[in-house]
Amino acid sequence: MQVHGWSRSLTVNRAAELGIEFHSDVDSLFATCTHITVHCAHTPETHHLVDARRLGLMPGVAADGTECGNHLLNLARGGIVDEAAACAALADGTLATCVLDVLEIEPVDPGHPIL
């Protein structure tokens, strides 16, 4: 597995030292990767960082040609993933799986569509 990453605090040199293929922006990361994990603070800048447009950039096919679908894991904070966009992406097959460790509003309503 090749690890890709983007971060405002990670330098290209440090990424190379860690064996991470560094992306210059978030869109490039989404357009390249079939498996995305989110690990960042929830700020006004990262609110709905993962939205319908970015989910639509995901390739669904790995670099080696394996058709593996797209997979999203938010292990950070609620509000970073646009939950309505994630639900729509699951429904239309853009996402094969979506794991949200947290939701934007908790406690979650048992009727929330993401469940």
CATH number for the domain that contains residue 70: 3.40.50.720
In whole angstroms, give the CA distance from residue 17 to residue 112.
Answer: 42
- Strands (DSSP E) found in the chain: 3-5, 20-22, 35-38, 71-74, 97-100
Measured between alpha carbons, how far is 2 from 40 in angstroms, rounded to an integer?
20
Q: What does the alpha-carbon distance between residue 72 and residue 60 come to, in Å, rounded to a whole number?
A: 12
Per-residue pLDDT of the chain (115 residues; tens, 9 = 90+): 889 999 988 899 999 999 999 999 999 999 999 999 999 999 999 999 999 999 999 999 999 999 999 999 999 999 999 999 999 999 999 999 999 999 999 999 999 998 8
pLDDT score of 76: 96
Contact 86, 72 (CB under 8 A): yes
Domain-embedded: residue 42: yes
Q: What is the pLDDT of residue 28?
A: 97
What is the predicted pLDDT for the residue at 111?
93
> For the chain, how many structural domains are there in total?
1
Q: Provide the pLDDT for residue 1.
A: 81
Asked whether the beta carbons of 82 and 51 are under 8 A apart, the reply is: yes
Q: Which amino acid is at 94?
A: T
Cα–Cα distances in angstroms (integers) from residue 99 to residues 5, 9, 14, 17, 62, in the given order: 19, 25, 28, 29, 19
pLDDT for 8: 86
Domain, as residue range, for 53: 3-100
Does residue 81 fall inside a structural domain?
Answer: yes
Instruction: Kindly state whether residue 38 falls inside one of the protein's structural domains.
Output: yes
Structural domain contains residue 41: yes
- pTM comes to 0.93
